[in-house]
Amino acid sequence: MKTEEIAQLQKEHLMPTYAPGIALVEGSGTSVWDAEGKEYLDFVSGIAVTNIGHCHPKMVHAVQDQVETLVHVSNLYYNEKQPVLAKSLAEHSGLPGAKCFFCNSGAEANEGLIKLARLWGSKHGKYEIVTMRQSFHGRTLATLTATGQDKVQIGFGPLPEGFVYANFNDIQSIEDAIGSKTAAVLVEALQGEGGVIPSEPEFLPALRKLCDEKGILLLCDEVQCGMGRTGKWFGFQNYDVVPDAFSLAKGLGNGFPIGAIVAGETLSDIFQPGHHATTFGGTPLACSAAQAVIDVIEEEELLANTMIMGAYFVEGLCEIAMKHKKWIAGVRGLGLLLGLVLDVPAAPLQKKLQEKGMLALATAGNVIRLLPPLTVSQEEIDKALKLIGEACVELHDEMAAQSPNPCQCGMGE
């Protein structure tokens, strides 16, 4: 089918929760193709999902082999793939005595973290979770309430009780939010949906110390910045901090749905039979896909590639920003989770990039989020920089033409 046919079929039979513009039908590595055969450089990666690129042969073979062996048996029975994957994650986490719970998505993983914290705090009457403004934790009722953004909560009240908001990168704000009912603080090492805002160097260590002093849990949402995206296995590792537990999804399965909770010794045995469950979490198929992802990251040394290519990409983006400093504020992020921060709305630049054959994301109103796969090459980054540079020149000229007076458009020379 062509894009027009697909769009019409979707309009007739799917709830209008999304507003897609193109129909993608094939992918390989860093490239995707639409229904008309046009190739795009994919610097969205399914929103930090396809970290090892589209259709990586090792993952394809792992999934194919497992489909022919055993797909699903229910968690009422042992499944050899689960403990193997859990062992891998525990070893990379750095959490003493770590154990895992597998689910299907980031929202489910964060929902599980919330339940885990409440169960831990219940014997002391503690149930509140402090989360950050501009955070993003999911779309279930509990996780959209945990999300510190009004726009995702409008129309869904009454919202669940037990969430208090504080300012990201502001220890005093968090300390002020902690009360006698507080069980945990939930935080992202880098706010992706909030505008690609990394933690300041001293923030997470100070937060770990504060949680220890108050006798509460530190929980990390690693759904977007985990699985190598920042150049470390998990975002919090950039700050030499060990949380009590963290959530995973997105890049864990490289497109195959799987989420996880990884909990250290304080929380590893809090859940007992009957406390929490899922029908599809941690199937042999899902765990085989995730283990293949871990193997590829290790064998192809993708953490190192992420750091090298991330630094190279930042250098090129900063050069573009300097050429358009009247309306590009700068670049921020970690590894290959980067944001080009604008002083104008980001949507027009996103659209122009798509027209040129590059996919990127406008987020937080004025940020272009750039999420290439961790396998990205220097040549592919050079191609991206060329397209971004061209798009910025064209957008500059269009804005200047719309407002000839530099004082009105803020463009200047």
Where do we find the tokens 């040549």? Answer: 379
Is 266 annotated for ligand binding? no
Residue 381 gets the label, from left (phi > 0), alpha (psi -120 to 50) or beta, of alpha
Is 278 annotated for ligand binding? yes
Neighbouring CB atoms inside 10 A of 123's CB total 7
Is 350 annotated for ligand binding? no
Pairwise CA distance, residues 54 & 189, whole Å: 26
Task: Give, for 184, the enclosing helix (H) or strand (E).
Answer: strand 182-187
H-only helix segments in 247-377: 284-299, 302-323, 347-356
Exposed / middle / buried, residue 50 (Cβ in 10 Å: 0-12, 13-18, 19+): buried
Helix-, strand-, coil-residue percentages of the chain, each rounded to 5: 40, 20, 40
Pairwise CA distance, residues 348 & 366, whole Å: 10
Pairwise CA distance, residues 64 & 70, whole Å: 11
Is 222 annotated for ligand binding? yes
Question: How big is the chain by its Cα radius of gyration, in Å?
Answer: 22
Is 221 annotated for ligand binding? yes
Is 106 annotated for ligand binding? yes
Is 4 annotated for ligand binding? no
Is 244 annotated for ligand binding? no
Q: Which amino acid is at 105?
A: S
Residue pair 316/381 in contact (Cβ under 8 Å)? The answer is: yes
Residue pair 36/3 in contact (Cβ under 8 Å)? The answer is: yes
Pairwise CA distance, residues 256 & 59, whole Å: 10
Tell which residue, 107, 75, 91, has the closest CA to residue 282.
75
Pairwise CA distance, residues 53 & 134, whole Å: 29
Task: Give the sign of the dihedral formed by CA 156, CA 159, CA 160, CA 162.
Answer: positive
Exposed / middle / buried, residue 351 (Cβ in 10 Å: 0-12, 13-18, 19+): middle
Neighbouring CB atoms inside 10 A of 20's CB total 10
The distance of Cα 70 from the centroid of its chain, to the nearest Å, equals 30
Enumerate the known binding-site residues for N(2)-acetyl-L-ornithine: 139, 278
Enumerate the known binding-site residues for pyridoxal 5'-phosphate: 106-107, 136, 221-224, 279
Enumerate the known binding-site residues: 106-107, 136, 139, 221-224, 278-279
